[in-house]
Chain A
């Protein structure tokens, strides 16, 4: 699989890069917890050394490379997410992340589809592109933009989602639950399903659509009822990016979560200027599950963490 992937990018003249696994800063995304470690030789006064985070994604340093004029780049690396363990989750997993300066999200979707056809060895595999809004309207008869949390809860109950009566969630929480539990299992059946145009509250590091700020330029890829990749038309506005990081930190503080420092080197790179780019991260363990028809992520890991 890795050989095919590297051949694919070599042919298209995308440069393979490597960025550090360890960083003094970490993602502020309230839904992702970073693992921490310590560096004793850093020369700090602290007897326990300097705290460093294992990265949860190579996104920010790769964007620094884009800002430095790298051109199109890709990376294959391990990333780490604390607390994530399940049938499809493992706290360390392999990610393929790549960036296309000057490309639109639609062009990147085409390239992702091409790559999957090569890796899955299914040249005729069809793809469909749905909008997030249309998906919720067609399959759950609800508008994700207008619906109140109470209305979304009623949809969850009507969809036979058991044991959610006691849940207190905000709108995005209910949308996440409906997406992962009611919609995801039916996506990517017999074809690649790309879901795009997310609510701005779920934009993460995507830019909002020019002329229509009610839509975030974000895409997710589903295959065989499983989420495989998440991509953005990348936000390049340093001010907006800082505001989102700070909003994340406020959410974290309010929830009593750890508040890691913001990656200032990344924001400085945005200040200098990062070319408009489309980028996407694809979970390679899950892709291998698709190649092999495996139901559990453990089936594609040599030694899951419990036996590592």
Chain B
């Protein structure tokens, strides 16, 4: 499967772009040309268009946009990964329990899942964040806490079909505990579709973070995140286009890369989608 995936142009292109973004984030202190939080309010410095000194121009407080973008990559990428890790942890465990045990447990869990899916996700997240207070940690946790129903359904469906297989019956006959059957026997066989959906979820978590920052309840200034650079850019959109265009493109490319990998892997896993 790995070999096939590496032959897929889509997966390779996406992975290369993701790798590039991670390099940028990790090397931020080295490749940044200025201090991302250093302000300079003199009119010659603030709101300047891209130039040799300031590759991506400067913002309303005279901060170097290139350096802020580079440091912002750290926030956006971390939020994506951590939020999805939390989502997976909750979604996989609850989905496994629902699918494995079935019956009343399954019914109750699925009703809760459907009820959560009814909530407009952005509003639910905003509501919780408004009460807990916005911070990077809260943003990651709340995105994770509200996005698990999708994975949960997926894992449940996998478990429902896998639990009837002969090897599971055999394991049960040998006296294996429920925990052992769930985690050692069934879960490894259900991981492939979960991995695809996790990859796609990283993209949507990054989009959600940027939307939250845009609405003022995400990562707070002065910490740079692509979302909050966009938010400030919004107020200077007529005069300083670079403050809006550049972070938007960065988000687009990152999310696109994750989707390329996710969809590519899905095609590799599902022979029916092959051309």
- Interaction A to B: no
